């Protein structure tokens, strides 16, 4: 299998029982951004962390947007498929099981898009500050896949109604969605990490 050209980092597992994590950074992040978060919420798990390939100025992203909160949906689809192909390559290359995606903001949005297009690529997802990436996705069977969504009720970027729409879409597709709404904005908090860690231990 040919390697997709994602710059990435891989940290081998120290705990063979822990599910591997696919770490997906937000706009302007890179392949190192969420490694500390991954170690904090899943000690000993294998960590796979790619860098988004779309540049917005000097900021890496996982797909193009036309404006704040307005996505280039054709690019979303292409990039979600590309990321799913990368995960398939990484599973073969590094000998890991299907990972649980942990994404923040733009990374959470691309993780949601992968769930809605290539559900077999992931074992579940923790979506931190996600919004709906595709307005009318094709029907998909998520077969009870566990999904955590954590949003902030003061988030200036993501209206709660949009997050609720995504939660409904995932639920109707068969996912087991756990939703948390925090009294915070767009940035991650320690409570996010605690919620994600507890959710991962339960799944």
Catalytic residues: 105, 155, 186
Closest CA to 179 of 168, 189, 188, 187: 168
Three-state SS at 176 = strand
Q: 160-172 and 106-117 helices cross at what angle (nearest 10)?
A: 20
Place of tokens 């991954």: 38
Neighbour tally for 96: CB within 10 Å: 21
Q: How is residue 52 annotated by DSSP?
A: P
């Amino acid at each position: 299998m040919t390697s997709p050209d994602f710059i990435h980092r891989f940290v081998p597992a120290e705990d063979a029982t822990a599910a591997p994590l696919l770490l997906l950074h937000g706009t302007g992040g890179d392949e190192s951004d969420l490694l500390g978060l991954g170690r904090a919420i899943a000690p000993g798990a294998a960590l796979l962390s790619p860098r988004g390939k779309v540049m917005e100025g000097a900021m890496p992203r996982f797909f193009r947007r036309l404006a704040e909160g307005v996505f280039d949906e054709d690019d979303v689809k292409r990039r979600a498929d590309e990321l799913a192909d990368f995960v398939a390559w990484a599973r073969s290359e590094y000998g890991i099981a299907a990972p649980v995606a942990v994404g923040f903001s733009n990374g959470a949005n691309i993780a949601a898009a992968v769930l809605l297009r290539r559900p077999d690529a992931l074992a579940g997802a923790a979506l931190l500050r996600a919004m709906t990436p595709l307005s009318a996705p094709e029907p998909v069977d998520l077969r009870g896949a566990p999904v955590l969504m954590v949003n902030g009720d003061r988030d200036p970027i993501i209206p709660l109604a949009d997050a609720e729409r995504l939660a409904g879409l995932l639920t109707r597709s068969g996912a087991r969605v756990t939703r948390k709404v925090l009294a915070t904005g767009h940035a991650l908090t320690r409570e996010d990490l605690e919620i994600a860690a507890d959710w991962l231990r339960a799944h």
